C-alpha cells in the first residue's frame, strides 16, 4: 500500500461514518418529539420529596396566575407534567436546590484503563439519570459531561451530530487555550444534550494528536503551564459555579488526558466489570493507583481529599463468577464500593444504535421491548441514587 491507498480507505471510512450518523440524525429529526419525552403523572409529582397534593395544587395556581402555562387537555384536565413543570413547581415552593447548598460542582472522573469496562456508558447514563431521577429532581442538578476521549463516544451518546469529523470546540482544545473566559466556554464549547439541563463539552478524533506534543504545547502555547492541571485550571475552575455535577470520560490510555482527569476530580469513579479477564485488568489498574498518586505528588500536585468510588458494571447476580468478582472488589475497595451496581442489560447496548442514553431515548423510537428499557432505566436510577448519596457524603467530609 502507498499513501494514496490509505487516503482512499480513510476517505471511505469517513463517508461511511457520515452516512451512519446522518441516518440516525435524520431519523431522529423525522420521528422524535421536539421536547424531552419524559412526563410525570400528577400522582407521582405529589409523592416526590417536599411535595404533597396541597403543595402541588397551590404551586400550580400561583404559577398559572403569574402566567405559567401547563399543558392541559381540551377538557381542561392535566394528566401529566413535563420535566420543566416539575422544576417550576419546586421553584415555586422555594425548595432549596443543590446550588443553594454547594457553591461549586462535584467532579467525578470515570476511569479504568480496561477498555469496555463501561466508563462511557456509566458516565453518560448516570448524568442523565441524576438529573431526572424523581427523588432528585428538586436538586435541579445542572450536569456537564467533559469528553476527553478522542474516540468521542460520550459525545456520540449525548450529541451525536458533533461526533464525526473535525470539531473546533472540544474539551482538549479548550485545555490548550488558557485565555478562554467562562463566557466564551459557555458560548462555544458547552452544548445542550437531549435532556434539558445536561450539557457536554465534546471530543473529536484529532484531539488524539495532542498527546504526542503535550509538553511542547504547554511550553509554547501556555507559557509553561503545569501539564497535568490544564483540565482543572483552563476549564473546570472557570465553570465550577455553573454546574453541579461534572463527569469526565476518557479513553483507556495512561496519558496526559488520564492524569488531567485525576487532578481535576473530587472522586475517581471506577466501573468494575466482573467477567474474569476484565476484572483482572481492572485490578491491575487499581494496583497502579499508588504509583500514579506518588507521581502526581512528585509534581507538587495536591491529591489530599481525593476520593475513590468503585462499582460493578455489567453485573449478573446469578453468575457465580460475577459474585466472586464482587467479593474481590469489596475486599480491595472496602467501603469505597457503592452498594448499587449496574446490571448487564440489553437496554444499555441497544441505546447505542440510536445514539441515546436509556433516559434520553424516546420510548417510541426504542427498538427493543419496553420492559427491557424500563429495566435499564430502573437500574440506572438506582445507581444514580446511590452515587449521588455518596457524592453528598464526600462533600460533607470536604467541608
Ligand X SMILES: Nc1ncnc2c1ncn2[C@@H]1O[C@H](COP(=O)(O)OP(=O)(O)O)[C@@H](O)[C@H]1O
**Min. distance of Cβ 280 from Mg ion in angstroms?**
19
Position of minimal CB gap to ligand X: 121
Question: Which residues here bind ligand X, judged by CB under 6 A?
Answer: 115-121, 153, 252, 313-314, 342, 344-345, 348-349, 352
How many whole angstroms separate alpha carbon 148 and alpha carbon 351?
21
Return the axis-axis angle of helices 320-333 and 276-298, rounded to nearest 10°: 20
Which residues from 121-160 bind Mg ion, rule CB under 5 A? 153
Minimum Å gap between C-beta 12 and ligand X is 24
Among 120, 170, 240, 313, binds Mg ion (CB under 5 A): 120
CA 137/CA 188 separation, integer angstroms: 27
Cα–Cα distance measured from residue 214 to residue 199, given in angstroms and rounded to the nearest whole number? 27
Cα 308 to Cα 124: distance, rounded to the nearest angstrom: 19
377 binds, among ligand X, Mg ion, none (CB under 5 to 8 A by kind): none
Q: Which residue is nearest to Mg ion (CB)?
A: 120
Write each residue from 42 to 61 as x if it is in contact with Mg ion (CB under 5 A), else as -, in one continuous string.
--------------------
Q: What, of Mg ion, ligand X, none, does residue 278 touch, CB below 5 to 8 Å by kind? A: none
Query: Which residues share a beta bridge with 272?
Result: 312
The C-alpha atoms of residue 384 and residue 311 are separated, in whole angstroms, by: 12
Q: Which is nearer to Mg ion, 132 or 153 (CB)?
A: 153
CB nearer to Mg ion: pick between 144 and 154: 154
**Under 8 Å between Cβ of 239 and 183:** no
CA dihedral 279, 284, 287, 292 (to 10 degrees): -120
Report, in Å, the least distance between residue 156 CB and ligand X.
10
Give min distance, CB of 129 to ligand X, in A: 13
Torsion over CA: 172, 173, 179, 182 (sign): negative
- Per CB under 5 A, the segment of 65-73, 97-105, 119-127, 345-353 that binds Mg ion is 119-127
> Contact residues for Mg ion (CB under 5 A)?
119-120, 153
Amino acid at each position: 500500500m502507498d499513501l494514496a491507498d490509505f487516503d482512499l480507505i480513510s476517505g471511505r471510512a469517513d463517508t461511511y461514518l457520515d452516512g451512519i450518523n446522518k441516518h440516525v440524525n435524520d431519523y431522529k429529526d423525522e420521528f422524535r418529539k421536539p421536547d424531552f419525552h419524559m412526563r410525570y403523572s400528577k400522582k407521582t409529582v405529589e409523592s416526590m420529596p417536599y411535595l404533597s397534593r396541597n403543595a402541588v395544587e397551590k404551586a400550580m395556581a400561583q404559577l398559572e396566575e403569574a402566567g405559567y402555562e401547563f399543558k392541559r387537555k381540551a377538557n381542561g384536565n392535566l394528566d401529566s407534567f413535563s420535566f420543566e413543570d416539575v422544576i417550576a413547581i419546586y421553584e415555586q415552593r422555594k425548595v432549596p436546590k443543590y446550588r443553594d447548598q454547594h457553591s461549586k460542582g462535584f467532579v467525578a472522573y470515570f476511569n479504568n484503563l480496561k477498555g469496555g469496562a463501561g466508563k462511557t456508558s456509566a458516565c453518560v447514563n448516570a448524568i442523565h439519570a441524576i438529573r431526572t431521577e424523581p427523588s432528585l429532581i428538586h436538586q435541579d442538578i445542572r450536569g456537564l459531561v467533559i469528553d476527553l476521549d478522542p474516540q468521542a463516544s460520550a459525545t456520540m451518546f449525548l450529541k451525536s451530530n458533533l461526533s464525526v469529523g473535525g470539531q473546533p470546540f472540544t474539551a482538549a482544545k479548550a485545555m490548550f487555550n488558557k485565555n478562554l473566559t467562562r463566557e466564551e466556554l459557555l458560548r462555544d464549547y458547552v452544548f445542550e444534550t437531549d435532556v434539558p439541563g445536561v450539557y457536554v463539552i465534546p471530543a473529536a478524533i484529532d484531539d488524539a494528536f495532542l498527546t504526542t506534543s503535550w509538553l511542547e504545547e504547554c511550553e509554547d502555547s501556555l507559557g509553561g503551564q503545569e501539564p497535568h492541571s490544564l483540565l482543572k485550571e483552563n476549564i473546570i475552575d472557570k465553570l465550577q459555579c455553573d454546574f453541579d455535577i461534572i463527569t469526565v470520560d476518557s479513553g483507556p490510555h495512561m496519558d496526559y488526558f488520564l492524569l488531567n482527569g485525576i487532578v481535576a476530580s473530587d472522586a475517581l469513579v471506577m466501573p468494575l466489570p466482573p467477567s474474569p479477564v476484565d476484572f483482572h485488568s481492572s485490578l491491575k489498574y487499581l494496583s497502579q493507583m499508588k504509583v500514579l498518586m506518588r507521581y502526581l505528588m512528585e509534581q507538587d500536585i495536591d491529591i489530599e481529599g481525593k476520593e475513590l468510588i468503585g462499582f460493578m458494571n455489567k453485573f449478573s447476580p446469578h453468575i457465580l463468577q460475577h459474585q466472586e468478582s464482587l467479593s474481590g472488589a469489596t475486599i480491595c475497595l472496602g467501603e469505597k464500593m457503592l452498594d448499587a451496581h449496574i446490571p448487564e442489560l440489553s437496554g444499555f447496548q441497544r441505546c447505542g444504535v440510536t445514539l441515546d442514553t436509556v433516559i434520553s431515548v424516546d420510548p417510541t423510537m426504542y427498538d427493543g421491548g419496553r420492559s427491557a428499557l424500563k429495566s435499564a432505566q430502573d437500574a440506572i436510577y438506582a445507581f444514580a441514587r446511590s452515587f449521588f448519596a455518596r457524592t453528598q457524603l464526600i462533600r460533607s467530609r470536604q467541608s
